[in-house]
């Protein structure tokens, strides 16, 4: 099972993929090498659950941890290139943009900004 972590972090500015600037709370989620390349782990914080991804080209991304179709943790799913596939019904999302890629998922996944500093992965939660 992916590791579960709960850490704290300073507040900062995060830039979301749509270019909007939002005040974010940077939360230390895990060490960068806790995630294998082309894989995902689960991160729980403050009653919420997130999925943190490491892409094949060694970039990090974060989304909500639960599939928008049903209550299933995406961290148990399969990462293929930029796609995360839900382990229950094989619904697919682009984890870089959150876009739902077809049935049985119809609702996009929420994404969060990520930064890596000193070998640690931080996600920006507003």
Partner 1 sequence: MLRIRFLSVKCREEAVMNAIPTIRDYSLIGRDAQAAVANGLTAAEWYHTDVPRKQMKDLMKRSDGPAIRDTIIWLGCMALFAGLGIALWGNWWSVPFFLAYGVLYGSAADSRWHECGHGTAFKTRWMNDAVYQIASFMMMRNPVTWRWSHARHHTDTIIVGRDPEIAVMRPPDLLRLVLNFFGLLDAWHAVGDMLRNACGNVSAEEKTFIPKQEQHRVVRIARIWVAIYAATIALAVAMGSILPLMLIGLPRLYGAWHHVLTGLLQHGGLADNVTDHRLNSRTVYMNPVSRFIYWNMNYHVEHHMFPMVPYHALPKLHEAIKHDLPAPNPSIFHGYREMIPAFIRQLRNEDYFLKRELPPTAKPYREEFHSDAIAQAAE
Binding site for partner 1 (CB under 8 A): 1-2, 39, 69-71, 77-78, 80, 85, 87-90, 92, 103-104, 106
* In contact, 99 and 106? CB cutoff 8 Å: no
CB of 103 to partner 1, least distance (A): 5
Indicate left, alpha or beta for 29 from its phi (over 0: left) and psi (-120 to 50: alpha): alpha
Q: How far apart are CA 11 and CA 125, in angstroms?
A: 9
Looking at the Cβ atoms of 64 and 85, the one nearer to partner 1 is 85
Minimum CB distance to partner 1 smaller for 20 or for 71: 71
Nearest to partner 1 of 14, 66 (CB atom): 66
DSSP labels for 45-57? ETTEEEEEEE-TT
Which two structure tokens, joined as six digits, stand for 36? 């294998």
DSSP label of 1: -
Nearer to partner 1, 27 or 74 (CB): 74
How far apart are CB 42 and partner 1 at their closest, in Å? 11
């Amino acid at each position: 099972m992916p590791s579960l972590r709960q850490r704290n972090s300073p507040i900062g500015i995060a830039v979301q993929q749509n270019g909007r600037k939002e005040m974010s709370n940077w939360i230390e989620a895990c060490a960068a090498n806790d995630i294998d390349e082309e894989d995902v782990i689960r991160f729980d914080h403050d009653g919420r659950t997130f999925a943190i991804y490491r892409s094949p080209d060694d970039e990090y991304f974060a989304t909500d941890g639960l599939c928008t179709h049903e209550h299933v943790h995406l961290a148990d799913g399969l990462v293929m290139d930029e796609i995360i596939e839900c382990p229950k019904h094989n619904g697919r999302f682009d984890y870089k943009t959150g876009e739902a890629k077809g049935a049985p998922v119809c609702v996009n996944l929420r994404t969060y900004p990520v930064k890596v500093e000193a070998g640690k992965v931080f996600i920006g939660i507003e």
